[in-house]
A and B are shown apart, each in its own frame.
Chain A
Amino acid sequence: MPIEVLMPALSPTMEKGNLAKWLKHEGDAIKAGDVIAEIETDKATMEVEAVDEGTLGKILVPEGTNDVAVNTPIAVILADGESAGDIKESGSQPAAAEKVAESAPPAAAENQKVPAEPKQAPSAVAQPPQPEQAPEPDFAEGTEMVTMTVREALRDAMAEEMRRDGDVFVMGEEVAEYQGAYKVTQGLLQEFGAKRVIDTPITEHGFAGLGVGAALGGLKPIVEFMTFNFAMQAIDQIINSAAKTLYMSGGQMGCQIVFRGPNGPAARVGAQHSQDYSSWYSHVPGLIVVSPYTAADAKGLLKSAIRNRNPVIFLENEILYGQSFPVPKLDDYLVPIGKAKVVRPGNHVTLVAWSMGMSYALKAAEELAKKHINAEVIDLRTIRPMDTQTIIASVKKTGRCVVVEEGWQQSGVGAEIAARLMEHAFDYLDAPVLRVSGKDVPMPYAANLEKLALPSVAEVVEAAKSVCYR
């Protein structure tokens, strides 16, 4: 049987890639381990190795093809005795596969050899539903929009602020020469040089403390954590030094610093690399905690965070990095910290979410609309200080609230929202506030279990129906 070689996923969140080059040609003999092609992702160029033996029977995707979806058959390998005539026509549709990642974490290395798994690789993560026009726009109607990824928006925000203020610099693991483990700092080294774009050793506690010390003395560091899981090593400096010094000094010495990086579950990276820290940092007075969903908010909020004179925890999401959204084309686009946004108006139930949680909430709202339930969707955007007013105003209208978060329920952000609604909108509630959240377990690795551990659109729909007594 001819064997199809599928477009491999080379990182847990890769959805598509460019077929840069074929290193073998039709008719070439292939041994397992031979490098057959080079694939460009948004993060790196990777070599694809054959895992089967035979002859390269047919190249289905020519080199130079961009945006080839993961799992698309790209070539066919013939076993001994088979000929090109044995190849049955197959479309170039991605093979239906469960969302399964088979690859190393993206930070692993460039030009890494990754076997071209002929079987399963992650299917594309669906594009997020775009939020509808907000009732309170962050920018004037008619503003020209450009489409960009969250990753580009974050990079542009840093670059603009670094151009504006010489005291702003970025430091972290792989931020400079490697261009960012997730390519968020792409191009910054080239523009700003090694003095302001600084590769650190793998030493989170140390460089977080160094950054805080630099901020106490007047610089404005952006400290990138490769992921917030690693910031656990540095949490003493974040809380005991960054968050508390202004208060402990009677207002004399503050700390203008941004700690940023991907937060929350990625895909198939197991318990130590899949955790949502929203509630952890939101617990701490002296910190500001921001967690955007769209590229526009990522840009506008990161710029505001860098200018804010307090320590800001800026929680990004790896899965969102590659997703595109319209961003206003403005010279200096700022989104205020501490303002939630009603992204979809409705009057039957309020859905509150942020970051990745928004993708569940927006999809659920569409499902609910089909059932004639009009959900109002609020993107919290800032976790601390929390825009309780916007939530309360919505619940006064809908009488019902479901919070969607990827973190655990106990002492979570959803628990906080439920408590605030009980305190401030008790008489308006027609049903208990429900939480759809990450399950109360460390993140499992197995694909099916991981899916079960995360919130789902179906759970949000179910919860919304339940509070509407439907």
Chain B
Amino acid sequence: MAVAKNKPASEPAAPSRDAPGIAEFSKEQELTSYREMLLIRRFEEKAGQMYGMGLIGGFCHLYIGQEAVVIGMQMAIKTGDQVITGYRDHGHMLACGMDPKGVMAELTGRTHGYSKGKGGSMHMFSVEKGFFGGHGIVAGQVSLGTGLGFINHYRGNDNVSLTYFGDGAANQGQVYESFNMAQLWKLPVVYIIENNRYAMGTAVNRSSAQTDFSKRGLSFNIPGIQVDGMDVRAVKAAGDLAVEWCRAGKGPYILEMMTYRYRGHSMSDPAKYRTREEVEKVRTEHDPIEQVRARLLQKKFASEEDLKKVDAEVRAIVNEAAEFASHDPEPDPSELWTDVLR
């Protein structure tokens, strides 16, 4: 077993069922998380709009409501760490620093999309930014992400694989095959279960015998905690704990992010399986972006004017991406035959 180098001086806490609480954010961290989450929110709203206009086709799974999860985790990792997720992936790509123009142009199936228009919403990648997709088969990314952790182990570096999946994927068999190998070989993988309460239209209590997903690694002795996935500070604190655990060569860690998606499973889902009131309650009481906004104002880290300026900047980025993605040409017909083999 390769032991990770650069072992941190302070060992992370022993596995605990208790989340580590919240990380105290500096002004800069509050502002960064606000801006980044807002970018995802506005980007996804625009994607929804463009889908309605027929510019985006097929499946389109929006991340609205879950922004704090990916932004908080991204604040806990460093260059060289790998990120992989399923099909609800636009937020992860933006969080990894991928260009919104390239992401949107892929959604519209155009030449300068990240996959030259050949992947679509669910299949985008950026080797440069450490984003490994973008996978359309539920839970397929869990074994793949375990393989990314294997690379770090094989090369003997202290990088960590962030492997995201949902409460629905958590019921797939290969998740447990992966848990077993990851713990057996002490692979540095943080399994992040984004529990947004519904696997497509099926509520977790109708699909899962054990609805506390943080316990799903217990029989493999993988530590796991439940985290308030609507509070970016709680996500960051949990991310720090889990990432440090992995970097220290102690094996995988499970973070169950308690989160919520405001929109349907995909664009064609009217979400009749839950009440309007349920959605409204989360929006008004737990919205991840509004929480940061309120703190920024309350702590006087920013004024209403300052935040309006951020909003305007973000809107400009998104509008530029939409504009680009609407006018970028479709891929050349010759592209049909390229990239099958190399």
Interface residues of A (CB under 8 A from B): 169, 195, 200-201, 203, 205-219, 236-237, 240-241, 245-254, 285-286, 288, 309-310
Q: Is B239 an interface residue (CB 8 A)?
A: no
Given contacts A217-B82, A241-B135, A247 and B173 within 8 Å (CB-CB): no
Which one, B123, B177, B339, contacts A206 given CB within 8 A? Answer: B177
A254, B127: Cα distance in complex, Å: 10
Q: Which residues of B contact A309 (CB under 8 A)?
A: 342
Which one, B118, B126, B143, contacts A205 given CB within 8 A? Answer: B143
Given contacts A216-B132, A219-B154, A250-B118, A210 and B143 within 8 Å (CB-CB): yes
A19, B16: Cα distance in complex, Å: 58
Which one, A213, A251, A254, contacts B150 given CB within 8 A? Answer: A213
Q: List 7 A-B contacts (CB under 8 A).
A: A195-B2, A206-B180, A213-B145, A241-B137, A241-B144, A249-B114, A249-B339
Q: Is B148 an interface residue (CB 8 A)?
A: yes
Please determine whether A250 and B115 come into contact, CB atoms closer than 8 angstroms: yes
Measured between C-beta atoms, what is the minimum distance from B174 to chain A in Å?
5
Measured between C-beta atoms, what is the minimum distance from A55 to chain B in Å?
51
Measured between C-beta atoms, what is the minimum distance from B329 to chain A in Å?
15
User: Residue of B at shortest CB range from A215?
Assistant: B147
Q: Which residues of A contact B113 (CB under 8 A)?
A: 250
Please determine whether A200 and B339 come into contact, CB atoms closer than 8 angstroms: no
A252, B150: Cα distance in complex, Å: 21
Q: Is B338 an interface residue (CB 8 A)?
A: yes
Please determine whether B174 and A205 come into contact, CB atoms closer than 8 angstroms: yes
Q: Which residues of A contact B9 (CB under 8 A)?
A: none
Please determine whether A249 and B115 come into contact, CB atoms closer than 8 angstroms: yes
Given contacts A207-B177, A210-B146, A286 and B341 within 8 Å (CB-CB): yes
A67, B180: Cα distance in complex, Å: 42
A43, B236: Cα distance in complex, Å: 53
Which one, B114, B115, B146, B338, contacts A209 given CB within 8 A? Answer: B146
Which one, B116, B119, B148, contacts A214 given CB within 8 A? Answer: B148
Interface string of B179-209 (1 = CB under 8 A from A): 0110010000000000000000000000000
Interface string of B139-156 (1 = CB under 8 A from A): 010111111101100100
Measured between C-beta atoms, what is the minimum distance from B188 to chain A in Å?
13
Please determine whether A250 and B178 come into contact, CB atoms closer than 8 angstroms: no
Measured between C-beta atoms, what is the minimum distance from B176 to chain A in Å?
8
A195, B177: Cα distance in complex, Å: 20
Please determine whether B127 and A252 come into contact, CB atoms closer than 8 angstroms: yes
Q: Which residues of A contact B252 (CB under 8 A)?
A: none
A203, B178: Cα distance in complex, Å: 9
Which one, B136, B144, B180, contacts A216 given CB within 8 A? Answer: B144
User: Residue of A at shortest CB range from B156?
Assistant: A195
Please determine whether A206 and B178 come into contact, CB atoms closer than 8 angstroms: yes
Measured between C-beta atoms, what is the minimum distance from B65 to chain A in Å?
27
Q: Is B168 an interface residue (CB 8 A)?
A: no
User: Residue of B at shortest CB range from A254?
Assistant: B342
- Given contacts A201-B184, A245-B125, 13 further A-B pairs with CB under 8 A are A169-B154, A195-B2, A206-B174, A206-B178, A210-B146, A217-B132, A218-B151, A219-B151, A241-B137, A247-B118, A249-B133, A250-B116, A310-B341
Please determine whether B184 and A209 come into contact, CB atoms closer than 8 angstroms: no
Q: Which residues of A contact B154 (CB under 8 A)?
A: 169, 195, 214, 219
A434, B27: Cα distance in complex, Å: 77
Please determine whether B147 and A212 come into contact, CB atoms closer than 8 angstroms: yes
A205, B151: Cα distance in complex, Å: 18
Please determine whether B148 and A247 come into contact, CB atoms closer than 8 angstroms: no
Please determine whether A217 and B116 come into contact, CB atoms closer than 8 angstroms: no
**Which of B118, B144, B339 has the most chain A CB within a 10 Å cutoff?**
B144
Please determine whether B338 and A210 come into contact, CB atoms closer than 8 angstroms: no
User: Residue of B at shortest CB range from A310?
Assistant: B341
Q: Which residues of A contact B173 (CB under 8 A)?
A: 205
Measured between C-beta atoms, what is the minimum distance from A312 to chain B in Å?
10
Q: Which residues of B contact A205 (CB under 8 A)?
A: 143, 173-174, 177
**Which of A213, A216, A288 has the most chain B CB within a 10 Å cutoff?**
A213
Please determine whether B119 and A248 come into contact, CB atoms closer than 8 angstroms: yes
User: Residue of A at shortest CB range from B142?
Assistant: A209
Q: Is B340 an interface residue (CB 8 A)?
A: yes
Please determine whether B342 and A250 come into contact, CB atoms closer than 8 angstroms: no
Q: Which residues of B contact A215 (CB under 8 A)?
A: 147
Please determine whether B136 and A217 come into contact, CB atoms closer than 8 angstroms: no
Q: Which residues of A contact B137 (CB under 8 A)?
A: 236, 240-241
Given contacts A209-B146, A253-B132, A201 and B177 within 8 Å (CB-CB): yes
A203, B339: Cα distance in complex, Å: 30
